[in-house]
Amino acid sequence: MATQSDFSLSYTEIIDDPYPVYAAVQAADPIFWSETDQIWHVLGYAEVMQCALNPAIQPVVSSTDPLIARLANSSQEHEIIKVKQFFENWVSELSSHAHRRVRRALLRSLNPRQIAQWRPRIQALADELFASVANEAQFDFIKAIAFPLPIMVLAQLIGVPESDLYLIKRWSDEIIGFQADNQSVAALRRLYDAVLELEAYFEAIIESRRQNPSDDVISQVLQTGAVSDEELISNLGLFVIAGHETTTGLLGNGMLSLLRHPAQYERLLADDSVVTTAIEEFLRYESSTQFSGRIAAEAVEINGHQIAKGKRINLVWAAANRDPAQFDNPHDLDVARQNNKHLAFGNGAHYCLGAALSRLEAEIIFTTLLHRLPRLEFAVDPPLWVQSQQFRILTTLPVQLYQCPNKIYQ
């Protein structure tokens, strides 16, 4: 079992089940310095909240850090600079005025009121997907439902034709793959190529929207005149991940949680009015984004710990969401849990822009599931996870129609 002295978020066991590791180190101290990672790890709910709300603790693009030191002045230096600039323009990584300016422009089309208008279109897509598996005795929930819905919604939201969805998937795979393997020069090269391809693709779409505006995100952001093309393109890259990968995670992790907790599944089947609270519980119980990097822009004190200026900080949202100091029985799934102030979407100035969209997609999918498919069970368990410590997302979740009422679930 990990101790604070040797704890690292690079542990391979974190991929399959991070929560026993989190709980062990959290119990000793919810905030501590890791010699292994050379970073402050913050796992307690109250401490994570303090950090998230403290303006002196700001986002940091750390994905390229290990490579920068190793490959400086090498033939890869150009690729590193390009990739770092791509990440640094993400609204999730910006600070102060630049963050407020870009966030305000993006919220023009991503605020809850605007997102609510997408309900009929999302419902139509969900109905289409469930119809495609209605006569299947067995299917992969990720490939059939959890992956295609968010990516199709994303395509419509940003104005990408369905025929180009494979490009979004490829770019997303390269971004997540690089963040999971940031010591690899080969991964850097693949990401660099993907960034160049993504930029060229969206440059053409941006120019088209300037000539012929639509109701998509690109057109609405351009109308604000507040964001440069470079910033817009980088944030479209962010949407490639945040707009579908993490929602795929929410849908898949929610389904997995129900399958592993049959009593809670039955509770939801008996009363679909608790779908809304169930979604909040899925977000708390199995957060798609496990942690985020920050940096101390100036010296700060968190819960008696002095964090020097320039020190890196990891906010472990998933550990905070299982903190017994905040949640009763935190390791139990409760689809009707009340006062569920989880941190799956972060908090403070960098609260997730896509939260309203993700919640709406999940509400539609799980409500439709309860009405269209009476009951599902595992076809294969355990399922497979993306090989990433930061993102907890299933790659497959084979399910089948419920067959045996006396089946014993683990």
Q: Does residue 317 have a pLDDT over 70? A: yes
d(CA 196, CA 194): 5
pLDDT at 1: 47
408 found inside a domain:
no
Residue 409 confidence (pLDDT): 36
Q: How is residue 36 written in tokens?
A: 């292994």
Q: What is the Cα–Cα distance from 297 to 136, expressed in whole angstroms?
A: 54
pLDDT tens digit sequence for 111-153: 999 999 999 999 999 999 999 999 898 999 999 999 999 999 9
Q: What is the mean pLDDT of residues 213-219?
A: 91
**The predicted structure's pLDDT at residue 64:** 53
Collect contacts of 157-160 with beta carbons under 8 A, ≥24 apart: 157/109, 157/118, 157/216, 157/217, 157/239, 157/243, 157/357, 158/216, 158/217, 158/218, 158/236, 158/239, 158/243, 159/205, 159/209, 159/214, 159/216, 159/217, 159/218, 159/219, 160/205
What is the C-alpha to C-alpha distance for residues 352 and 95, in angstroms, rounded to an integer? 14
* pLDDT band for position 9 (cuts 50, 70, 90): confident
**Edge-to-edge strands, sheet with 138-140:** 138-140, 398-401, 376-378
Q: What is the pLDDT of residues 264-273, one digit of tens each?
A: 999 999 999 9
Q: Whole-number mean pLDDT of the chain?
A: 88
0.95 exceeded by pTM: no
Q: How many domains does the chain have?
A: 1
The one-character DSSP state at 334 is -
Q: What CATH number has the domain bearing residue 172?
A: 1.10.630.10
Q: Let me know if residue 218 belongs to a domain.
A: yes
User: 251: part of which helix (H) or strand (E)?
Assistant: helix 245-260
In a domain, 77, yes or no: yes
Confidence grade of residue 410 (pLDDT, cut at 50, 70, 90): very low
Residue type for 29, please?
D
Average pLDDT over every residue of 289-311: 94
What letter would DSSP give residue 16? H
Instruction: Quickly tell me which residue has 């604070």 as its tokens.
Output: 4
Residue among 144, 176, 141, 171 nearest 155 (CA): 171
Give residue 69's Cα distance to chain centre.
28
Task: Give the model's pLDDT for residue 133.
Answer: 95
Residue 71 has pLDDT above 70, yes or no: no
**1, part of any domain:** no
Do the domain assignments include residue 126? yes
At residue 372, the pLDDT reads: 92
**pLDDT for residue 247 is more than 90:** yes
207 belongs to a structural domain: yes
The residue among 133 and 410 whose pLDDT is bigger is 133
Instruction: Decide if 2 is inside a domain.
Output: no
In a domain, 269, yes or no: yes
pLDDT tens-place string over residues 377-409: 999 878 889 888 888 999 999 999 876 554 433
- Which residues span the domain enclosing 68? 13-401
